[in-house]
Amino acid sequence: MDLVVMCGDLTHFGSLEDAKRNLSIVSKAKLPVFFIPGNCDPPQLANESTDSAKCLHGDCRRFHGIAFFGVGGSPPTPFHSPFELSEEEIGLLLQRGFANCSRDEESSRVVLVSHSPPRGTRLDMTSSGEHVGSTSVRNFVEEERPALVVCGHIHEASGLDRVGTTLIVNPGPARHNQCAVIDFGDDIEVSLSPLNITGQTH
């Protein structure tokens, strides 16, 4: 395992200090970390980065020839959670992050890390059967066709899906001992896996 990607909700309605503490725990694995804030995180987390943990919110970073960009928060929810954005704001952040991805390496894959899943997939369906993902994320994926979308937000909807040629994964919440292992070989291979908490790498 070369890189850790965290798809938001680093806290459960916690403080910025809580989020930073959780990032420091993950950083003890001595691996680079890319993250975005979730709707249950403080909005200030979108402006935080450390030497080992880099925030992708509205930004892009490259790792081993792969361009990762992201958008945190979520569309408005009935719960009035701390970090909610309008669909217009989400769309603008997607375009900003995507534009920040260097286009000089044509062979480079592009990965979107979005807290909110694309709307209308298996990965944005609540336990009541309602689709609550982002229409802006869905439209962006259909138009720009990133190789992979890694998302979260809907804790009960872990799994894999596709929108066109784009593979989408919702690993599920780490607090429920869930994660995804992604292999960027000739093809992108994703396996949902119990979270390895022993410190061993895959």
pLDDT at 195: 81
What are the structural domains of the chain? 4-194 (3.60.21.10)
**pLDDT score of 201 more than 50:** no
Q: How far is CA 114 from the centre of its chain?
A: 4
Task: Give the percent of the chain with pLDDT over 90.
Answer: 86
Q: Is residue 35 a contact partner of residue 64, using CB atoms and an 8 Å limit?
A: no
Q: How large is the average pLDDT for residues 136-151?
A: 97
**pLDDT score of 84 more than 90:** yes
- The mean pLDDT of the chain is 92
pLDDT at 108: 73
**pLDDT score of 1 more than 90:** no
Q: Is residue 168 a contact partner of residue 133, using CB atoms and an 8 Å limit?
A: no
Q: How far apart are CA 117 and CA 120, in angstroms?
A: 9
**pLDDT score of 129 more than 50:** yes
Contact partners, residue 68, CB within 8 Å, separation at least 6:
5, 34, 56, 60, 61, 62, 111, 113
Please tell me whether residue 190 adopts helix, strand or coil conformation.
strand
Mean pLDDT is lowest, of 15-24, 100-109, 118-127, 166-175, for: 100-109
**pLDDT score of 173 more than 50:** yes
Q: Phi/psi class of residue 48: alpha, beta or left (left: φ > 0; alpha: ψ in -120 to 50)? A: beta
Q: How large is the average pLDDT for residues 32-38?
A: 98
* DSSP code per residue over 77-120: -TT--SSB--HHHHHHHHHHHHHHS--S-TT-EEEEEESSPBTT
pLDDT at 110: 95
**pLDDT score of 107 more than 90:** no
Q: How far apart are CA 39 and CA 80, in angstroms?
A: 9
Q: How far apart are CA 102 and CA 134, in angstroms?
A: 25
Q: How far apart are CA 50 and CA 52, in angstroms?
A: 5
